[in-house]
Structure 1
């Protein structure tokens, strides 16, 4: 039975058992830091229950914060109903509203009083409207999650819908196999051609194909105040989730576990690609195929036979993602449980977990997703006004260094130069002038990089010997001048290299390099690379 510990300040810390004094001190200090909005560094000996103390202390603060915020909202709404003056926006609970532009800047002395009063009343009305909208959204979310917790019929209905979809897909596969196994259809006369049924699509299939009923705005909500908990490995994150499940907050906390596509993808055709980059590229391509619209000419073209469709992920469905998002928020789940839930619901856990972030109270994720700006933005993580807890913080420096560092060998540079040169020689006359210019710049950069290392791109790297060995550290400017590349805008080259593929127009150099790498060096003239080469 959970023990409710009350500190001298009147703070209640629900705990699964009677906490030790060191745990009480830990939770009280953490609560004070969060309440003051400061930065805290905590250290506790091994075996003192740091994770459990962290959970109970942080979630106790979040519980009290939400309660105070609701009380303040009720006071403001009551004041608006009785025409009493509202808060001036200095209340700490309303600072997020002020940062979003709901509360305006202080009065300008040069403005007339009637202008100031008008602006102030408008801001107060906007604030009240915003609070009312938040209340409605919160009430709908709580009712929806309550239904999922206690309404078994809702789960059965979702399961029945999935079974119907699977049965329909199975019958379609059988029909396709029958058509593929049969002989070529005989030629029909023009008057008989009109008797052949055109391809049929139900209204529901048309909506799904056009994306009319898949408005992703319905899957996204306003971000509530939440706690981001990050650690180094997925095993540590899973252990933390299990601690949350055993804590008094396990059943009522809306927790979301985040991971990469490699960890969360349930599409076997994509998972078997193995490489993280290939999985990411394939997933993005499938999303583009799903959103892609047909041209007017394609729409006007009569269809008598089943045409080959662009592949879209069968696990990305609006209705299923809605159900998965809500089921994710009901109870704490780790990555493995999230994947199992996605397979059962036939919905993508990767996107389902991201759509659950705004309404979540506790988000569990690796260091990299918090520290890397592009990843943070892609996942929809907003840190402003939120709480970030970093566990195992002594690993932060190594993680940051690893994220922003890369090791490239001379053999890799020579191989890249050889392959890109072959691409330019083969397709150079078909390229646009600007593309050809950037490819030549990349070739020049690779040649100079190899020269700085004491090598030559025209020779086999396995037969070259370095003139000097050892480690040398250079500043960026010294490296640019020594390699004679200070006249090239490297930022533009980087943008060109990172340019994403478009439908029907992939990253051709990358595709060519993968194709040529799969062939033998004798056929392509590529350089053989040793994985342990230190050149």
Structure 2
């Protein structure tokens, strides 16, 4: 339903002249996001709904980021004014006391602004650095890379789809809470891929950091794990391989005083921090769906599953399936926070059925009969010991 109040910019970065219904859609969407409203939209088939969602939401996101930067600059200007007043005031104590709270707040904002500028430089460099890193990894054998088991332990907190991510109070996290993310969720992976394909047609193709998430069933490139097919079994096997990824042995046979470490690979060959970080940078610098990222992961020998998770923190747009968004344990394990985020659910008429399916389990009569038979056999054999 389109809002009667249509606000926002006149241009929404459509790759072509939009239809009237698309203009109505994006203006209402922009207004809903800007006003932090809960909105339900319906658009007939064939009216370019996905493109309208992209242009409306991302135009708002870029506008919001520009406003945030202007606010930071205004705060810094105000901070300098306060400092000048303190230095020139006759009654320094009175001025200091009256301005203390504002001064403290502005100084904290200055730290955030410095971090914001630093991150912006890093974000702009993702595309160039990722291209160089991928070329390096393609031409460098894994046994020539340096690394330690301590580095690999950094991934332990991400080892399960159901594991929670610990919260820490850091300036980076405070800045992350200010930077808004757009979370787009759809029912199937093909719909997610179609959404990303539509985004590639727009101006946002080269200036939006997007990550698409999927389970190990869709992202694992280790054939020994993939053949298990069941997601729970794959999670368990992946965790086992992580724990056995490297083994550092002290080489006592060397006669020199310098002790050397020998790295003996025993686990997953794709569980490699430098390569995973390289793939993470590629994800943030290049628009691609799960299939695209997985192919790159195969080329450089890096785990796409963990690279995608690592990319979440710096991503502006997160594309996820229903089960990741709607299941609290999975969502928190991925490090996705709904706080200060714009959540867009596509095909929302499927939402209730999806929620019911995610939080339900099916048991068949044949399974019950088999379980009952096993209990009977156990009682007959061990009943006297109970």
Indicate the residue corresponding to 1:147 in structure 2: 128
Q: Structure 1 pair 302/412, CA: closer, same or farther in 2 (3 Å)?
A: farther
Pair 1:157-2:130 in alignment: no
Aligned to 1:364: 319
Gap change, CA 1:423 and 1:278, over 3 Å in 2: farther
CA contact (8 A) 1:227 1:361 kept: yes
Q: Which runs of 4+ in 1 moved over 6 A?
A: 113-116, 299-304, 307-310, 420-428
CA distance in 2, matches of 1:389, 1:417: 46
Q: Separation in 1 of the partners of 2:204 and 2:354?
A: 30
Q: Mind listing any 5+ residue stretches in structure 2 that lack a counterpart? A: 1-5, 85-94, 159-164, 166-171, 255-261
For the Cα contact (< 8 Å) 1:214–1:317, is it kept in 2?
Answer: no
Question: Do residues 250 (structure 1) and 205 (structure 2) align?
Answer: yes
Q: Decide which of 273, 276, 279 is 2:228's aligned counterpart.
A: 273
| Alpha-carbon distance between aligned partners in 2 of 1:386 and 1:423, rounded to the nearest angstrom | 53
3-state SS of the aligned residue for 1:211? Answer: helix
Aligned-pair CA distance for 1:147: 2.1
CA shift in 2, pair 1:272/1:363, >3 Å:
same
Out of 393, 400, 408, the residue aligned to residue 363 of structure 2 is: 408
Q: Work out which of the residue numbers 219, 243, 250 in structure 2 matches 1:288.
A: 243
User: 5 Å matches for 1:320-335?
Assistant: 320-335=275-290
Which among 216, 221, 230 is matched to residue 261 of structure 1? 216
Measured in 2, the distance between the counterparts of 1:426 and 1:117 equals 81
- Alpha carbons of 1:154 and 1:363: their partners in 2 closer, same or farther (altered >3 Å)? same
Looking at both structures, which has the greater relative contact order when contacts are Cα pairs under 8 Å and sequence separation is at least 6? 2
Give the Å deviation of 1:157: 2.2
Provide the rounded CA distance (Å) in 2 between the counterparts of 1:423 and 1:319: 52
- TM-score normalised over the length of structure 2: 0.79
* 1:233 counterpart (188, 212, 224): 188
TM-score (norm 1): 0.58
* CA distance 1:68–1:423, shift in 2 (3 Å): farther
Q: Which residue of 2 aligns with 1:35?
A: 34
1:73 CA displacement: 0.8
Q: Deviations over 1:120-156 (max 9, x none)?
A: 543332232222222222222323x14237xx65443
| Distance across 1 between alignment mates of 2:71 and 2:210 | 25
Query: Kindly tell me: are residues 84 and 14 of structure 1, through their superposed partners in 2, closer, same or farther at Cα, counting changes over 3 Å?
Result: farther
**Are 1:124 and 2:106 matched, yes or no?**
yes
Paired residues in the alignment total 346
Q: Which residue of 1 is the match for residue 44 of structure 2?
A: 45
Partner of 1:472: none
CA change 1:146–1:80 in 2 (3 A) is farther
- CA shift for structure 1 position 290: 3.7
Q: Secondary structure at the match of 1:246?
A: coil
Measured in 2, the distance between the counterparts of 1:249 and 1:265 equals 28
Aligned: 1:317 with 2:272: yes
Q: Is the 8 A contact 1:227 1:389 kept in 2?
A: yes
Of 305, 310, 325 in structure 2, the residue corresponding to residue 355 of structure 1 is 310
CA RMSD, 1 decimal: 3.6
Q: Is the 8 A contact 2:186 2:347 kept in 1?
A: yes
Q: Structure 1, unaligned stretches of length 5 or more?
A: 1-6, 86-112, 170-203, 429-439, 441-535
